[in-house]
Structure formats: structure tokens, C-alpha cells
Amino acid sequence: MNFTDEFSFLASMVEDYLRDYFDALLDAIPEKKLAQSMRYSIMAGGKRIRPVLALATAKMLDVSVQDMMPVAAALEMIHTYSLIHDDLPAMDDDDTRRGKPTNHVVYGEAMAILAGDALLNEAFELLVRNSLKAGENMISALEAAHLIVNAAGRDGMIAGQVIDMESEGKTVNAETLAAMHRKKTGALLKASILAPAVYARAADGTRKALSDYADCIGIAFQIKDDILDVESSLEELGKPVGSDEKNHKSTYVALFGVEKARQMLEETTEKALNALVPFGEKAWFLKETARYIATRKK
């Protein structure tokens, strides 16, 4: 099977699960507008990268995709809540996301805040319910939940957003830039890959390898993003000023220049691939993911 097909296959499983889940919520909650607001952002066309990585890693470690699905869905709910809150007028004040009006534009600011809260809460409900149902795997399921909650919280995703806010309009050093990305996007990405390993009670060596891989693709993703921002503006506008530069955002390109950034991307991707060597052929999807991140056109 090729990478694109497998990605689409896993993403569509996630899509179906989430659609069923939020259709059922829409029936179950008397407060329809709340349910609609939650459903709107969940179904707004995300690429489902986190849940797909969770399911693919589960397959690699011989954990059933069925068992991992609630965890995968919880990851997407946490990601979605963070986007709703980040888009708020008091935060990044974004009116559109993926070509659609953001949650607060459609449902108003108050409802967007509450829908975000409710999605975070829902993720936890799913994780707790999943642990209760896990039978002899209860401890592993709980440990996976713990890992995810940690990644989402005050020393993970939320801390990353704080660093991002506090860096706005400033030139930050490489260390701060790395910490910001590691927490803001890296932490939950890493949790998506490690949760199946924890669930599978994988050996320490396995966890370490996956942890190294996750760190590398997190960094590679961000470097590539920064490079794309400059390249796409070169192509479209004929001048090398991307939206990041216009918005005074600190980027790898701004800090190191395009050439050095490209070299860093190559090295980081190489490290990601090396971390997967112990898994052999079974790691094909994670390897292709690393290659895709480095070579994608958008």
C-alpha cells in the first residue's frame, strides 16, 4: 500500500468516527447550538494528522486500530479546541481557517469559548471512558491518557501558546523558538505517537526511538513550514517576503536564512529516519511521513 492511500484510509476512519460521535451528541444534547458549534470545528476539514499518526503507530506495534480510535479522536478534539481558542479575537484574531469562517465568526465569541472548553472536556471524557472499558489494559489506557493530558497542559500545548503570544513582534533566539514549537505543536504530536506505545506496553527502547522520531518530525514540520512561507511568496509575489516576515513572526528562516534552514531540515529528517531503523519494514508509514513532511509543497 502506498503512503497517500494509507493516509486517506486512516483519515477517513477517523472522519467517520468523529462524524458519528458528534451526530450522536447533536441528538443527545438539548443545547443544540453548543453541539453545533463543537461539531462545526471538528468537521471543518482538518487533515487528521494526529489521529492518523496514533492509528498508524498502533498498527506498527500490533495494537488494534479499534482500541486506539477513542484515543485518536480525543487527540483531534484537543487539537480542535486549541485552534478555536487560538483563533479568538483576544488571541490571534483569525477570521478564517482552512478557507472557512472560524468558530467565533459563525457562533459568536462566547459560544466559541464554551465550544472549545466543551471539546477539551469531551476529550477527557472519552479518555476516562476508554480507560474504564479497557479491562486488563486499564493501567496502560490510563497511562496513555496521562501522557496526552500532560502534553496538552500548562507545560505542553498551552505553554507553547503562551510563549508564542509573548514572542509576538519580538526577535527571539533559537532556543525560545525551539521551545515554542516543541510545546505548541510538538507535544501533542509526540503524544499521538507515544500513546500507542504506552498502550502497547512497549519496551523503553521502543518508546525512546519513537520519542526521538516524534521530536524530529515536529521540528522538521516547522522548519518546512517556515521555508514554504518564504518560497510560496517568492513564487506568487516575486519577492521573498512571506506572511511570517510581514507579521514579525520568529521563524527558522529568519533566524538562520533559507540555505541553513534547508540543511537543518535535511539533517532532522535524516535523524527521524534513523530513529526508525530498529522497526525495519514495519515503520514504512512513519518513514514516509517524515519524507512527506520534508518534501510537501504546501
Shortest CB 292 distance to its own copies, Å: 31
**CB-nearer residue toward its own copies: 94 or 143:** 143
Shortest CB 88 distance to its own copies, Å: 7
Shortest CB 260 distance to its own copies, Å: 27
**CB-nearer residue toward its own copies: 179 or 258:** 179
**CB-nearer residue toward its own copies: 15 or 122:** 122
Contact residues toward its own copies (CB under 8 A) are 25, 28-31, 33-35, 38, 81, 85, 88-91, 108-111, 113-114, 116-118, 120-122, 124-125, 127-129, 131-132, 138-139, 142-143, 145-146, 149-150, 152-155, 158-159, 161-163, 165-166, 179
The 3 state secondary structure assigned to the chain is: CCHHHHHHHHHHHHHHHHHHHHHHHHHHCCCHHHHHHHHHHHCCCCCCHHHHHHHHHHHHCCCCHHHHHHHHHHHHHHHHHHHHHHHCCCCCCCCEECCEECHHHHHCHHHHHHHHHHHHHHHHHHHHHHHHCCHHHHHHHHHHHHHHHHHHCCCCHHHHHHHHHHHCCCCCCHHHHHHHHHHHHHHHHHHHHHHHHHHCCCCHHHHHHHHHHHHHHHHHHHHHHHHHHHHHHHHHHCCCCCHHHHCCCCCHHHHHCHHHHHHHHHHHHHHHHHHCHHHHHHHHHHHHHHHHHHHCCC
**CB-nearer residue toward its own copies: 95 or 109:** 109
Shortest CB 224 distance to its own copies, Å: 26
**CB-nearer residue toward its own copies: 101 or 258:** 101
**CB-nearer residue toward its own copies: 106 or 162:** 162
- Quick one: angle between helices 204-237 and 258-275, nearest 10? 150
Shortest CB 164 distance to its own copies, Å: 10
Q: How many CA atoms lie within 13 A of 120 on its CB side?
A: 17
Terminal C-alpha separation, the chain? 23
Shortest CB 44 distance to its own copies, Å: 18
Shortest CB 249 distance to its own copies, Å: 16
Shortest CB 22 distance to its own copies, Å: 11
> Distance between CA 186 and CA 164 in Å, rounded?
13
**CB-nearer residue toward its own copies: 16 or 109:** 109
**CB-nearer residue toward its own copies: 60 or 188:** 188
